[in-house]
Structure 1
Amino acid sequence: MALGTVAGVATQSDGTFVALQVPGAGLRLIAPYDLELVARCARPMTAGRAVTALIAFGVAIAAGGISSQSVLEPGAHWSLVLFASLGAYTAVKSAFLLWLRLTGPRRFRI
């Protein structure tokens, strides 16, 4: 057993192998079915991402407020107002989390 970082994928005549960067041992080729995902490498949040997260939180709160006001004006029940604001907040938050997922680190520890 070894803890390493995925360095790439190598195709040979025997099949496709995952190239692992193992500390002290260099690169090792291992079959994909022999791997077990242990952790995903996560870098600390940068100042730009922290500001973006704060802006996304503000936009989500504003979307929830606007949504609740637009539902409340015609005289909707309180439960509909609550679910409309929660839905708008969740939609903005989900879009932000998807953006983080797509632009985040792509390194795995196996």
Structure 2
Amino acid sequence: MRLAIGDVVRDRNDMVIGTVASLDTNATRLVVMHVPGSTPRVADARDLQIVARKSCPPTALDRLLALFTLVVALLAAYVAARSVQGLGGSWPLTFMAALGGFTMFAVAYRWGLRVTGPRRVRI
């Protein structure tokens, strides 16, 4: 199981829901979780069930970066399609060149989000 600080988990022993506060990746595999209205409690990672992943709303900079990536990807698709069409390529080849140009930037954006996202630790 992969957990990040801030994930919502449920203890299978007594069905208490809390958020992950700290992770111990040593041999003990203990997780400290904040339970509402109670003191922090320690649970074994094998007794936990993931209820929800931590998510943050996108900031203005994140939205601007997504819009910039979309514009650049569409521009790359247009340039690739026009280049293939200008060289006398058929419409399937033109379509595939445009799709490849767009996908190149879309995949790079997705991998960038994965690298800069919350760190998940295998427990």
Q: Name stretches of at least 5 consecutive residues in structure 1 with no aligned partner.
A: none
1:7 touches 1:20 (CA, 8 Å); kept in 2?
yes
Structure having the larger proportion of residues in helix: 1
Q: How many residues align?
A: 106
Q: CA RMSD in A?
A: 2.1
Q: How does 1:11-90 map to 2 (within 5 A)?
A: 15-90=28-103
Moved more, 24-33 or 77-86: 24-33
Structure 1 runs (4+) greater than 3 angstroms displaced: none
1:74 to partner: Cα distance: 1.8
- TM-score, normalised to structure 2, is 0.74
Partner in structure 2 of residue 8 of structure 1? 22
Q: Equivalent residue of 2:56, what SS?
A: coil
Instruction: Rate the CA distance shift 1:49–1:11 in 2: closer, same or farther, 3 A.
Output: closer
1:10 to partner: Cα distance: 2.9
CA distance in 1, matches of 2:58, 2:47: 32
Percent of aligned positions that are identical: 39
1:106 to partner: Cα distance: 4.6
Larger relative CO (CA 8 A, sep 6+): 1 or 2?
1
1:6 touches 1:21 (CA, 8 Å); kept in 2?
yes
Moved more, 47-56 or 66-75: 66-75
Q: Equivalent residue of 1:62, what SS?
A: helix
1:11 to partner: Cα distance: 6.3
CA distance in 1, matches of 2:36, 2:108: 37
Partner in structure 2 of residue 101 of structure 1? 114
1:38 to partner: Cα distance: 1.8
1:2 to partner: Cα distance: 2.2
